[in-house]
């Protein structure tokens, strides 16, 4: 029987901000941006949650609920740095670490017990080390499968520690609401409620045939989850399926020259991340969202995978023009590359061989300078004008995806 734990950092982004600035401790911290912005809350401290603030809530609503809150922009590079530190601690106990995001991961400790003691004692040691060495609190679920471990870590935050044994599974799950099960959203919950199913215990009393007749294959999956059955293994971190960046404008804009500059900057950041990871991508995807909140996605497949921003930009710009830049003023623009594979660009149809090699040397030089002196140490002239326009537009909110 496997021994699996799920570690979930408590209010991770907000906790990092409170750790880095002691003046924020004990106060409602909301990460995501200004309450005057149109973005959403990324994370908030437990002090802020007392006011009904939660992740994905519009910042303006959070501002109305907690006008005296401390609203901060996200610092993704800092959060990633801390996440790597935490991950390194986890890897000291097992190579089987499966991250779900920057702030949570599954660990399979089945084979680690011979070296470090029981899974429960290892889990305690890890979270004590994270709090002592990193300075952040975490919650843990200990069980024999992933579903139960993740469920346990979420039940008694912050600093929760829940152990679910095989013998106690049915009794442990029975009083919990069905929404606690993976795959139960609002629509599925509505179907279950019509069947008189409110708790997982109610679901345990239903036959698999009835559940499948009402919910299809999902009904069969819920039948097993209600009994705490989940045989998925913990798998080490998978390679990214795509790499992308996007920005949300504080003020909707239809200025094409400005948008082209922003798009070039996004392509440059995507390409730089790909070169850092030693990968190329063959599918360029453009994302546009206009001021009517209509989202448009367009993609094209390259003849040869690339990690050159010049190639990515050429294709993304062509997609943008073909879509007439969304037809209206834009509030969001993004670009990503998928179809990822190991290795650098070898042959780019856009350039002849000599130019291709010169460009690669140029990228290597620029990347070295940025690695040493920071991302803003060297900038394209075209991006400088976009940066000034960015200031004139009273804010721009950036995000990235993997």
Residue 35 has pLDDT above 80, yes or no: yes
The pair of structure tokens assigned to 390 is 């960015």
Contact 200, 174 (CB under 8 A): yes
Of 39 and 109, the one with more pLDDT: 109
**338 and 263 fall within a common domain:** yes
**53 and 180 fall within a common domain:** no
Contact 96, 108 (CB under 8 A): yes
Mean pLDDT of 182-202: 89
* Per-residue model confidence (pLDDT) at position 399: 52
**292 and 373 fall within a common domain:** yes
Residue 128 has pLDDT above 50, yes or no: yes
**194 and 261 fall within a common domain:** no
**189 and 127 fall within a common domain:** no
The average confidence (pLDDT) of the chain is 86
* Per-residue model confidence (pLDDT) at position 380: 55
Catalytic-labelled residue, pool 17, 47, 98, 104: 104
Q: Which long-range contacts (CB under 8 A, 24 or more apart) does 177-180 make?
A: 178/202, 178/203, 180/151
Contact 204, 174 (CB under 8 A): yes
**188 and 281 fall within a common domain:** no
Mean pLDDT of 182-201: 88
Structural domain that includes position 186: 169-225
**159 and 261 fall within a common domain:** no
* Per-residue model confidence (pLDDT) at position 391: 42
**310 and 383 fall within a common domain:** yes
The domain spanning residue 133 has which CATH number?
3.30.70.270
Residue 397 has pLDDT above 50, yes or no: no
Mean pLDDT of 54-73: 95
Q: What are phi and psi of 166, to 5 degrees?
A: -55, -35
Residue 141 has pLDDT above 90, yes or no: yes
Q: Tell whether 179 is covered by a domain.
A: yes
Residue 183 has pLDDT above 90, yes or no: no
**160 and 132 fall within a common domain:** yes
* Per-residue model confidence (pLDDT) at position 388: 46
Residue 385 has pLDDT above 60, yes or no: no
73-99 pLDDT tens trace: 999 999 999 999 999 999 999 999 999
Helices (H) and strands (E) in the chain, counts: 16, 13
Lowest mean pLDDT among 47-61, 103-117, 276-290: 276-290
**262 and 366 fall within a common domain:** yes
pTM for the whole structure:
0.63
**397 and 254 fall within a common domain:** yes
The domain spanning residue 20 has which CATH number?
3.40.1170.60
Say how far apart CA 119 and CA 130 lie, in whole Å: 16
Transcribe 202-226 into DSSP letters: HHHTS-HHHHHHHHTHHHHHHHHHT
**256 and 177 fall within a common domain:** no
The domain spanning residue 204 has which CATH number?
1.10.150.20
* Per-residue model confidence (pLDDT) at position 149: 97
357 classed as catalytic: no
* Per-residue model confidence (pLDDT) at position 372: 56
344-380 pLDDT tens trace: 554 444 443 445 566 666 666 666 665 655 555 455 5
Mean pLDDT of 195-201: 93
Split into its structural domains, the chain has a count of 4
């Amino acid at each position: 029987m496997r021994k699996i734990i799920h570690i979930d950092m408590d209010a991770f982004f907000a906790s990092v901000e409170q750790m880095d600035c002691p003046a924020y401790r004990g106060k409602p911290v909301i990460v995501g941006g200004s309450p005057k912005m149109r973005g959403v809350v990324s994370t908030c401290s437990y002090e802020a949650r007392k006011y009904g603030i939660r992740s994905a809530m519009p910042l303006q609503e959070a501002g109305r609920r907690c006008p005296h809150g401390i609203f901060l922009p996200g610092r993704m590079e800092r959060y990633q740095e801390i996440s790597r530190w935490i991950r390194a601690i986890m890897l000291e106990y097992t190579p089987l670490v499966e991250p779900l995001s920057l702030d949570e991961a599954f660990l399979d400790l089945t084979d680690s017990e011979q070296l470090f003691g029981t899974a429960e004692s290892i889990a305690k040691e890890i979270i004590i080390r994270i709090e002592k060495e990193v300075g952040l609190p975490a919650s843990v679920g200990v069980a024999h499968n992933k579903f139960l471990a993740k469920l346990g870590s979420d039940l008694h935050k912050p600093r929760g520690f829940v152990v679910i044994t095989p013998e106690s599974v049915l009794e442990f799950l029975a009083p919990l609401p069905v929404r606690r099960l993976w795959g139960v959203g609002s629509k599925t919950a509505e179907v279950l409620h019509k069947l008189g199913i409110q708790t997982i215990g109610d679901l345990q009393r239903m036959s698999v045939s009835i559940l499948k007749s009402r919910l299809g294959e999902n009904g069969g999956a819920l039948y097993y989850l209600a009994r705490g059955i989940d045989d998925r293994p913990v798998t080490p971190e998978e390679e990214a399926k795509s790499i992308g960046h996007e920005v949300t404008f504080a003020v909707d804009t239809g200025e094409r020259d400005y948008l082209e500059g922003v798009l070039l900057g996004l392509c440059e950041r995507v390409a730089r991340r790909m070169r850092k990871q030693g990968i190329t991508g063959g599918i360029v995807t453009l994302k546009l969202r206009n001021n009517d909140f209509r989202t448009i996605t367009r993609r094209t497949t390259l003849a040869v995978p690339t990690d050159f921003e010049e190639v990515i930009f050429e294709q993304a710009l062509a997609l943008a023009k073909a879509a007439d830049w969304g037809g209206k003023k834009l509030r969001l623009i993004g670009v990503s590359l998928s179809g990822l594979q190991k290795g650098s660009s070898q042959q780019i149809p856009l350039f002849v061989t000599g130019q291709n090699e010169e460009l690669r040397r140029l990228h290597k030089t620029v990347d070295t300078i940025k690695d040493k002196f920071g991302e803003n140490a060297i900038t394209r002239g075209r991006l400088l004008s976009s940066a000034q326009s960015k200031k004139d537009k009273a804010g721009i909110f950036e995000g990235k995806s993997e």
